[in-house]
């Protein structure tokens, strides 16, 4: 089968697309500019690849926002993972040096997870006491520090306040009132 190059941009098949610019030109061409054996091809390769391209784009976007979610008591089993951890803040404390500690699940030293906000980021959390007694979801890498699970928080976007009825698959002891 003989293929003829389209006069508009020289790219007549998706297999000939090498750069993003060529892909843009290939996708934006009118359908009848692709010619195969002298006949316009309305069911071209680019019409077959477009749904696949959109599927991959959507799947990538969806996967980017899907971190695993654990309770505070489950966090210790997931050291080294980047995840979301949801639980009740049992105590908020600030050191003289300015670092902030949120004890999740229980008060220190029995807390299964510590949320640590270093003094260098503490000024971004002017009202940290609002988390005391509330349910939060914290995102970040679960690390081990002094044989305890810990997440270091440097940006307020890493902490989300939840309503008291937030469940998300958590056990009743993690959500007060259930």
**pLDDT at site 84:** 95
95 and 126, same domain (yes or no): yes
**pLDDT at site 66:** 80
86 and 170, same domain (yes or no): yes
75 and 151, same domain (yes or no): yes
Give the model confidence (pLDDT) of 25-60 as tens digits: 666 665 545 555 555 555 555 555 656 666 666 666
Domain encompassing residue 160: 69-174
3-state secondary structure 5-73: CCCCCCCCCHHHCCCHHHHHHHHHCCHHHCEECCEECCCCHHHHHHHHHHHHHHHHHHHHCCCCEEECC
Last residue of a domain, one of 25, 46, 64: 64
73 and 155, same domain (yes or no): yes
Q: Which CATH number is 139's domain given?
A: 2.40.50.140
pTM of the model: 0.59
34 and 91, same domain (yes or no): no
In the predicted structure, residue 11 carries a pLDDT above the cut 50: no
**pLDDT at site 175:** 39
Q: What is the mean pLDDT of residues 92-111?
A: 95
144 and 75, same domain (yes or no): yes
| Closest by Cα among 63, 58, 66, 29 to 46 | 29
Give the model confidence (pLDDT) of 126-171 as tens digits: 999 999 999 999 999 999 999 999 999 999 999 999 887 665 544 4
168 and 121, same domain (yes or no): yes
Query: What's the domain count of the chain?
Result: 2
């Amino acid at each position: 089968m003989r293929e003829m190059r389209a006069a508009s941009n020289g790219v007549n098949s998706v297999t000939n697309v090498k750069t993003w610019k060529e892909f843009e030109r290939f996708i934006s061409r009118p359908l009848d500019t692709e010619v195969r054996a002298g006949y316009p091809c309305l069911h071209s390769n680019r019409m077959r690849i477009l749904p696949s391209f959109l599927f991959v784009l959507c799947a990538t976007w969806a996967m980017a926002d899907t971190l695993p979610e654990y309770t505070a008591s489950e966090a210790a089993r997931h050291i080294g993972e980047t995840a979301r951890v949801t639980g009740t803040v049992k105590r908020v404390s600030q050191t003289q040096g300015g670092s902030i500690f949120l004890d999740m699940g229980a008060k220190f030293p029995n807390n299964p997870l510590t949320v640590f906000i270093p003094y260098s980021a503490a000024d971004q959390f002017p009202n940290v006491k609002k988390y005391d007694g509330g349910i939060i979801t914290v995102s970040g890498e679960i690390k081990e520090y002094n044989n305890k699970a810990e997440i270091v928080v440097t940006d307020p976007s890493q902490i989300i306040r939840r309503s008291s009825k937030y469940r998300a698959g958590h056990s009743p002891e993690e959500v007060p009132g259930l």
